[in-house]
A and B are shown apart, each in its own frame.
Chain A
Amino acid sequence: MTDYTKQIHRCFRCGYCKFPSDYSDFNCPSYARFRFDTYSTSGRLWLIYAWLKGEIEWSEHLAEILYSCTACKNCVEQCPMKFSSDIVDWIVAARSDMMEKEKGRIPPAVTSFLEDVYRLGNPLKERGKRDAWADGIKRYQPGDEYLFYVGCLGSYDEYGQRMARSVARLLGEAGISFGILGNEENCCGNEVYLLGENELFGMLVEKNVQKFKELGVKKIVTLSPHAYNAIKNNYPPVSNAYFEVYHYTQLLRGLLRENKIKPSQYKAKVTYHDPCFLGRYNQIYDEPREILQSIPGIELVEMERSRENSFCCGGGSGNFVTDLLGGSKESPSRIRVREAYETGANILAVACPSCMTMLQDAVKVEELEDKLAVKDISQIAAESL
Chain B
Amino acid sequence: MTDIYKSLVEIIGEEHVSNQKEERYFYGRDPGLTPPHEPDYVVMPETSEEVQQIVKLANREKIPIVPKGGGLALTGLVIPQKGGIVIDMKRMAKILEVNETSRYVIVEGGVTHGMLQNYLKKHHPKLRHSIPDSPAIATVVGNAVIHGQGRLTQQYGFNSDMVSGLEVVLPTGEICRIGSHSISSQDWFSKGAPWPDLSGLFLGWFGTTGIITKLGLRLYPCKKIRDVMVFLTDKIELVPDIILKLTHTEMTEDIVVNEQPLPPRFKGNIYILIIITGDSDEELDFKRKIIWDALWDLFESRDGGFLSVPADMKPPLLEMPSRDVVRFADVRKGGGFEYSGPIIPLEKYPEFIAKQKELVSKYNLSYAATSRVIAGGHCMMYAFAFTFNRADPDEMDRIRKALREAAQFTVAQGGMMWKPTIEEQEMIMEKMDPNTLKIMKKIKALLDPNGIMNPGNWEAQ
Contacts and interface: CB of A to CB of B under 8 A. Distances in A.
Interface of A: 6-7, 9-16, 18-19, 22-25, 34-38, 43, 46-47, 50, 55-57, 59, 61-62, 65, 80-83, 328
B16 A35 contact: yes
Contact of B112 (A23, A38, A55, A61): A23
A19 B22 contact: no
A324 B180 CA distance: 47
B92 to A, nearest CB: 11
B330 A83 contact: yes
A12 B23 contact: no
Contact of B18 (A24, A36, A80, A328): A36
24 contacts: A9-B389, A10-B330, A12-B31, A12-B337, A13-B335, A14-B31, A15-B136, A19-B114, A19-B136, A22-B121, A23-B117, A24-B118, A34-B15, A35-B88, A36-B42, A36-B44, A37-B27, A56-B22, A56-B25, A59-B22, A80-B324, A81-B326, A81-B327, A82-B327
B12 to A, nearest CB: 11
B171 interface: no
B326 A12 contact: yes
Given A24-B118, A36-B42, A81-B327, A14 B137 contact: yes
Contact of B22 (A15, A16, A62, A328): A62
B391 A25 contact: no
Given A36-B18, A36-B42, A47-B25, A16 B115 contact: no
Contacts of B91: 35
Contacts of B15: 34, 328
A80 B326 contact: yes
A89 to B, nearest CB: 17
A62 B18 CA distance: 13
A80 B323 contact: yes
B80 to A, nearest CB: 14
B333 interface: yes
A61 B20 contact: yes
Contacts of A47: 22, 25-26
A23 B22 contact: no
B35 interface: no
7 smallest A-B Cβ distances: which pairs?
A23-B114, A15-B137, A80-B323, A12-B329, A14-B326, A14-B135, A10-B335
A82 B330 contact: yes
B304 interface: no
A18 B22 CA distance: 19
A82 B114 CA distance: 22
B124 interface: no
A12 B331 CA distance: 11
A79 to B, nearest CB: 9
A36 B136 contact: no
B72 interface: yes
Contact of A12 (B20, B42, B335): B335
Given A12-B335, A13-B31, A80 B327 contact: yes
B329 A19 contact: no
Contacts of B31: 12-14
A380 B176 CA distance: 56
Contacts of A34: 15
A267 to B, nearest CB: 30
Interface in B317-344: 323-324, 326-327, 329-330, 333-337
B129 interface: no
A9 B44 CA distance: 27
Contacts of A16: 135-137, 323, 326
Given A12-B31, A14-B135, A61 B330 contact: no
A61 B24 CA distance: 12
Interface string B108-129: 0000101101100110000000
Contacts of B71: 37
Contacts of A11: 335
A81 B16 contact: no
B357 interface: no
Contacts of A57: 21
Interface of B: 15-16, 18, 20-23, 25-27, 29, 31, 42, 44, 70-72, 88, 90-91, 112, 114-115, 117-118, 121-122, 135-137, 323-324, 326-327, 329-330, 333-337, 389-391
Contact of B26 (A14, A46, A81): A46
Contacts of B389: 9
A111 B30 CA distance: 34
A47 B91 CA distance: 22
A12 B336 contact: yes
A18 to B, nearest CB: 6
Given A23-B136, A61-B21, 6 more contacts: A10-B335, A11-B335, A14-B329, A16-B137, A23-B118, A35-B88
A22 B118 contact: yes
Max chain B CB contacts within 10 Å: which of A7, A10, A11, A81?
A10
A18 B118 contact: no
Contacts of B135: 14-16
Contacts of B26: 36-38, 43, 46-47
Nearest to B42: A36
Contacts of B42: 36
Given A12-B335, A14-B135, A24 B115 contact: yes
B137 A9 contact: no
A122 to B, nearest CB: 32
A101 B15 CA distance: 29
A272 B121 CA distance: 24
Nearest to B117: A23
B21 A35 contact: no
Nearest to A15: B137
Contacts of B391: 6, 9
B291 to A, nearest CB: 30
A128 B135 CA distance: 52
Contacts of B330: 10, 12, 81-83
A36 B88 CA distance: 8
Contact of B333 (A10, A15, A46): A10
B116 to A, nearest CB: 9
A58 to B, nearest CB: 10
A328 B13 CA distance: 13
A132 to B, nearest CB: 40
A9 B334 contact: yes
Contacts of B27: 37
B6 to A, nearest CB: 19
A36 B114 contact: no
B335 A38 contact: no
B319 to A, nearest CB: 10
Nearest to A12: B329
A65 B21 contact: no
Nearest to A5: B391
A18 B114 CA distance: 11
Nearest to B43: A36
A60 to B, nearest CB: 9
A65 B327 CA distance: 26
